[in-house]
Each structure stands twice: as C-alpha cells, then as structure tokens.
Amino acid sequence: MSVGSDGSGDVGVPAEVVFAYLDEPPFCWPGADGRPHGCDVEVAEAVLKAIGVERISTRLVTFAELMPGVAEGAWTINTPLFVTPERALQVAFSRPVWSLADGFMMRADNSRQLDSYRAIAANEMAVIGVVAGQVQHQSALAAGVPTARTRLFATQKAAVEAVLSGVVDAYASVAMAHRGYLREHVDIRLEVIDLGVEGKAKPAVGAFSFALSDVGLREAFDRQLAAYLGSPEHVAIMERHGFSHAEIVGA
C-alpha cells in the first residue's frame, strides 16, 4: 500500500509500473536519449509519482498492441486513447484528459479537394489510410468509405509514408497528432486538414487505460488525476505541446 498526496492510503498501488506508449508526437515519442517524451507521458509520470509509484518503466508498442497488452498484464497502463463503449469492455479507462477532433494528413496540393470523410466516400478514386485499430477506421466506414478504398497501417510513420508515396490520398487520425508529427518532421510536401467534429456533438475524449482487474491502481490514479487536471503544472505541460484550452480537459 502506498500513501496518496492527500495522506490517505491507496490500496493496490504497486512500487513499479510499466507504461506503454506510441511513437505519436505530441502525445508520446521516443527521444534520442532513449526515453519517452510528450505530454501524455509527463502527465502519467506526475500522477503515478504522486500516488507513490517508485519506478516507472516504459515500453514502445504499436497501437494494435495497446489494449490486448494491458488487458493481459503485459504492462500496467496505456498512453491515452479515445474512449468508446467497445473499448470499455476490454480495458478500464481513467477520467478523460483531452478532447480532440480528427484531421487528414495529405500531400500539400490536395488536388482532389478532400476535406471530410464524406468527401472521400463520394470520390471513387480517393483512398484513405488509417492506423489499424484506431477509431478513424470506423469513422471512415460510417461515412461510406468502402473497405476497398481503405488501407490499414501499423504505425503513424508507415501511414505518412503512404501519403508521400501516393498509396493513399489522406491519412486520418487526430489532427493534433498530425501537427505533432510535422513539428518533429518538417516536410513542406505535407499539410493537415482539420475535420472538426463532422457529425458528432463534440470532439471525442481520450483517457489512460488499465486492465479491468487492476481496480486499486486505476482508482488511486483517477483520484489523483482529478486533482491534477487543470492545475497550473498540467496546463503548462499541455500548452507547451500545442494544446489549446478547449482541448485540455480541466483547463
């Protein structure tokens, strides 16, 4: 048992946790020093240390590995991902930490004027790329994009390379992830198209996730996270990585 920042005991908090993350700036990415960088890992470290976790190990994984890995106990906590009812059957989510809209990564000419999932569905020549397992795949299908014009990739890097090579016309993900990529990999051949909510009442929210059985750690983490969200330290971290107040939960 560890002691929380308010002096209360938190049952189920281990001395060491393993944090799984993606190569997806500005959320997380592996630095030249071999350590993960990004807003989500900084928030996770602050909260985990506050609840008494002594050692935080990290593991770089693909998106498709995130949920099965934490569910099976291969690691302890996942970097935030979008919360959906289907995912909540597999993992236990923390409270939300950000609220973000989708975007397309495209070649800068955008000669086909593709500015929405529906526009891609309507253009029989347009091909969309998504990272396997991400919610943008379902968004594309729901808008009418056929599977024959959808390409799945394991990583952000592979999807961007497909845009540059012309394999796909647009790579759909979170607009923030696209902007983060271009900050780290400046390329005038690429541009980001913001999609807004496109048929949704508001942008989707993302949260950390744990194994369904890891109740003690998730509850302790969530209590401390509630106190941390919106704090000057938290807002400063998120703003430094390009988030607006509207995109930061608690700001």
- Examine the pLDDT at 7 and tell me if it is beyond 60: no
R_g of the chain computed on alpha carbons? 18
- Domain spans of the chain? 2-99+203-247, 102-196
pLDDT for the residue numbered 232: 96
pLDDT band at 247 (very low <50, low <70, confident <90, very high): very high
pLDDT band at 9 (very low <50, low <70, confident <90, very high): very low
pLDDT for the residue numbered 197: 62
C-alpha 166/C-alpha 109 separation (Å) is 12
Averaged over 241-249, what is the pLDDT?
Answer: 91
C-alpha 216/C-alpha 102 separation (Å) is 33
Which strands form 102-107's sheet, in the order they lie side by side? 150-153, 128-131, 170-174, 102-107, 190-196
Note the CATH number of domain 102-196. 3.40.190.10
DSSP secondary structure letters along 190-231: EEEEEEETTTSSS-EEEEEEEETT-HHHHHHHHHHHHHHTTS
Confirm whether 2-99+203-247 and 102-196 share one CATH topology. Answer: yes
Q: Please tell me the pTM assigned to this model.
A: 0.84
pLDDT in tens, 100-153: 999 999 999 877 789 999 999 999 999 999 999 899 999 999 999 999 999 999
pLDDT for the residue numbered 230: 96
Structure tokens given for 153? 């990739």
C-alpha 127/C-alpha 115 separation (Å) is 13
**Architecture of domain 2-99+203-247 in CATH?**
3-Layer(aba) Sandwich (3.40)
Q: What is the mean pLDDT of the chain?
A: 91
pLDDT in tens, 180-235: 999 989 999 999 999 976 655 578 899 999 999 999 999 999 999 999 999 999 99
The length of the chain, given as a count of residues: 251
- Examine the pLDDT at 34 and tell me if it is beyond 60: yes
pLDDT for the residue numbered 6: 39
Alpha helices of 73-134 — where are they, by DSSP H? 117-122
Alpha helices of the chain — where are they, by DSSP H? 39-50, 63-71, 117-122, 135-142, 156-165, 175-184, 215-228, 232-240
